[in-house]
Amino acid sequence: MVTVRHPVASCVSTYEKSGGLPADGFFTVRSNIEEWCRRDLQHTGCSAEQLRNMDYFEAYLRYWEYYYLSLALTGLSESRNLQIIAFGKSTLQSAAQNHHDLYGSGLQASEFHTSDKARRLHPAWLERAQPAIDRVEATWKSVGIPFPAHEISRCW
Protein backbone atom coordinates (compact mmCIF):
# COMPACT_ATOMS: atom_id res chain seq x y z
CA MET A 1 0.00 0.00 0.00
CA VAL A 2 1.26 3.45 -0.97
CA THR A 3 -0.31 6.56 0.51
CA VAL A 4 -0.19 9.73 -1.58
CA ARG A 5 -0.62 13.11 0.10
CA HIS A 6 -0.71 16.56 -1.46
CA PRO A 7 2.75 18.16 -1.17
CA VAL A 8 1.47 21.29 0.60
CA ALA A 9 -0.35 19.32 3.31
CA SER A 10 2.60 16.96 3.59
CA CYS A 11 5.00 19.88 3.97
CA VAL A 12 2.89 21.53 6.67
CA SER A 13 2.68 18.25 8.56
CA THR A 14 6.46 17.91 8.35
CA TYR A 15 7.29 21.39 9.56
CA GLU A 16 4.71 21.15 12.36
CA LYS A 17 6.35 17.96 13.61
CA SER A 18 9.78 19.61 13.29
CA GLY A 19 9.24 22.70 15.41
CA GLY A 20 7.30 24.93 13.03
CA LEU A 21 8.10 26.72 9.80
CA PRO A 22 11.57 28.23 10.22
CA ALA A 23 11.30 31.96 10.98
CA ASP A 24 13.61 32.85 8.08
CA GLY A 25 11.65 30.63 5.66
CA PHE A 26 14.74 28.64 4.67
CA PHE A 27 15.08 24.90 4.79
CA THR A 28 16.79 23.42 7.83
CA VAL A 29 17.15 19.92 9.29
CA ARG A 30 15.52 19.36 12.68
CA SER A 31 13.76 16.01 12.24
CA ASN A 32 14.14 12.66 10.52
CA ILE A 33 11.89 13.64 7.62
CA GLU A 34 13.87 16.84 7.07
CA GLU A 35 17.04 14.74 7.13
CA TRP A 36 15.59 12.45 4.47
CA CYS A 37 14.75 15.53 2.44
CA ARG A 38 18.33 16.82 2.77
CA ARG A 39 19.77 13.40 1.88
CA ASP A 40 17.55 12.94 -1.17
CA LEU A 41 18.11 16.45 -2.50
CA GLN A 42 21.86 16.09 -2.16
CA HIS A 43 21.56 12.74 -3.96
CA THR A 44 20.00 14.61 -6.89
CA GLY A 45 22.92 17.04 -7.04
CA CYS A 46 21.75 19.83 -4.77
CA SER A 47 24.76 21.13 -2.83
CA ALA A 48 24.69 21.79 0.91
CA GLU A 49 25.03 25.51 0.19
CA GLN A 50 22.12 25.49 -2.28
CA LEU A 51 19.99 23.68 0.26
CA ARG A 52 20.85 26.17 3.04
CA ASN A 53 19.67 28.99 0.78
CA MET A 54 16.53 27.23 -0.42
CA ASP A 55 13.02 28.25 0.54
CA TYR A 56 11.54 25.62 2.88
CA PHE A 57 8.63 24.75 0.62
CA GLU A 58 10.81 24.59 -2.50
CA ALA A 59 13.10 22.10 -0.79
CA TYR A 60 10.18 20.03 0.48
CA LEU A 61 8.41 20.10 -2.88
CA ARG A 62 11.55 18.86 -4.67
CA TYR A 63 11.85 16.07 -2.10
CA TRP A 64 8.16 15.16 -2.49
CA GLU A 65 8.50 14.98 -6.27
CA TYR A 66 11.72 12.97 -6.14
CA TYR A 67 10.15 10.50 -3.69
CA TYR A 68 7.09 9.80 -5.85
CA LEU A 69 9.10 9.70 -9.08
CA SER A 70 11.51 7.24 -7.49
CA LEU A 71 8.64 4.98 -6.43
CA ALA A 72 7.36 4.83 -9.98
CA LEU A 73 10.74 4.43 -11.65
CA THR A 74 12.16 1.74 -9.38
CA GLY A 75 9.64 -1.04 -9.91
CA LEU A 76 6.49 -0.01 -8.05
CA SER A 77 4.39 -1.00 -11.05
CA GLU A 78 5.63 -4.58 -10.68
CA SER A 79 4.48 -4.88 -7.07
CA ARG A 80 1.90 -7.57 -6.48
CA ASN A 81 -1.30 -6.36 -4.85
CA LEU A 82 -0.34 -2.73 -5.36
CA GLN A 83 -2.82 -0.43 -3.67
CA ILE A 84 -2.60 3.35 -4.02
CA ILE A 85 -4.42 5.29 -1.31
CA ALA A 86 -5.04 9.02 -1.55
CA PHE A 87 -4.63 10.71 1.83
CA GLY A 88 -8.14 11.45 3.08
CA LYS A 89 -10.63 10.63 5.80
CA SER A 90 -12.66 7.97 4.02
CA THR A 91 -9.81 6.32 2.14
CA LEU A 92 -7.51 5.94 5.14
CA GLN A 93 -10.28 4.93 7.52
CA SER A 94 -11.45 2.33 5.02
CA ALA A 95 -7.91 1.00 4.54
CA ALA A 96 -7.47 0.71 8.30
CA GLN A 97 -10.78 -1.14 8.63
CA ASN A 98 -9.79 -3.49 5.81
CA HIS A 99 -6.64 -4.38 7.76
CA HIS A 100 -8.64 -5.01 10.94
CA ASP A 101 -10.97 -7.27 8.95
CA LEU A 102 -8.16 -9.02 7.06
CA TYR A 103 -6.25 -9.86 10.21
CA GLY A 104 -9.32 -10.62 12.33
CA SER A 105 -8.68 -8.10 15.08
CA GLY A 106 -12.38 -7.69 15.75
CA LEU A 107 -11.79 -3.95 16.17
CA GLN A 108 -13.23 -0.96 14.37
CA ALA A 109 -10.92 1.57 12.77
CA SER A 110 -10.70 4.82 14.68
CA GLU A 111 -12.15 7.90 13.11
CA PHE A 112 -9.61 9.65 10.90
CA HIS A 113 -9.50 13.45 11.00
CA THR A 114 -8.41 15.79 8.23
CA SER A 115 -7.98 19.55 8.09
CA ASP A 116 -7.87 22.24 5.44
CA LYS A 117 -5.15 24.05 7.44
CA ALA A 118 -2.49 23.72 4.74
CA ARG A 119 -4.77 25.22 2.10
CA ARG A 120 -5.71 28.10 4.43
CA LEU A 121 -2.14 28.84 5.57
CA HIS A 122 -0.36 28.58 2.23
CA PRO A 123 -2.67 29.22 -0.75
CA ALA A 124 0.28 30.37 -2.90
CA TRP A 125 2.01 27.02 -2.33
CA LEU A 126 -0.91 25.22 -4.01
CA GLU A 127 -0.13 26.87 -7.33
CA ARG A 128 3.61 26.28 -6.90
CA ALA A 129 2.96 22.57 -6.27
CA GLN A 130 0.83 21.89 -9.34
CA PRO A 131 3.65 21.45 -11.90
CA ALA A 132 5.32 18.83 -9.65
CA ILE A 133 2.01 17.02 -9.19
CA ASP A 134 1.48 17.05 -12.97
CA ARG A 135 4.97 15.64 -13.62
CA VAL A 136 4.51 12.85 -11.09
CA GLU A 137 1.08 12.01 -12.49
CA ALA A 138 2.48 11.83 -16.05
CA THR A 139 5.39 9.65 -14.96
CA TRP A 140 3.17 7.26 -13.03
CA LYS A 141 0.82 7.06 -16.02
CA SER A 142 3.76 6.27 -18.31
CA VAL A 143 4.59 3.18 -16.23
CA GLY A 144 0.96 2.11 -15.86
CA ILE A 145 0.24 3.28 -12.31
CA PRO A 146 -2.77 5.50 -11.62
CA PHE A 147 -1.77 8.60 -9.64
CA PRO A 148 -4.62 10.06 -7.54
CA ALA A 149 -4.02 13.72 -8.48
CA HIS A 150 -7.70 14.62 -8.36
CA GLU A 151 -8.20 12.91 -5.01
CA ILE A 152 -5.26 14.67 -3.34
CA SER A 153 -6.30 18.07 -4.73
CA ARG A 154 -8.37 18.68 -1.58
CA CYS A 155 -5.00 19.11 0.13
CA TRP A 156 -5.74 17.31 3.41
Residue 86's φ and ψ, nearest 5 degrees, are -75, 135
pLDDT at residue 78, as a whole number: 85
Distances (CA, A) of 38 to 108, 121, 125: 38, 24, 20
pLDDT at residue 115, as a whole number: 93
137 neighbors 100 (Cβ within 8 angstroms): no
Burial class (CB in 10 A: 0-12, 13-18, 19+), 118: buried
pLDDT at residue 80, as a whole number: 85
Distance CA(27)–CA(34), nearest Å, equals 8
Other Cβ atoms less than 10 A from the Cβ of 95: the count is: 15
Distance CA(132)–CA(48), nearest Å, equals 22
Burial class (CB in 10 A: 0-12, 13-18, 19+), 77: middle
* pLDDT tens per residue across all 156 residues of the chain: 999 999 999 999 999 999 999 999 999 999 999 999 999 999 999 999 999 999 999 999 999 999 999 999 998 888 888 999 999 999 999 999 999 999 999 999 999 999 999 999 999 999 999 999 999 999 999 999 999 999 999 999
Which tens digit of pLDDT belongs to each residue from 73-95? Answer: 998 888 888 999 999 999 999 99
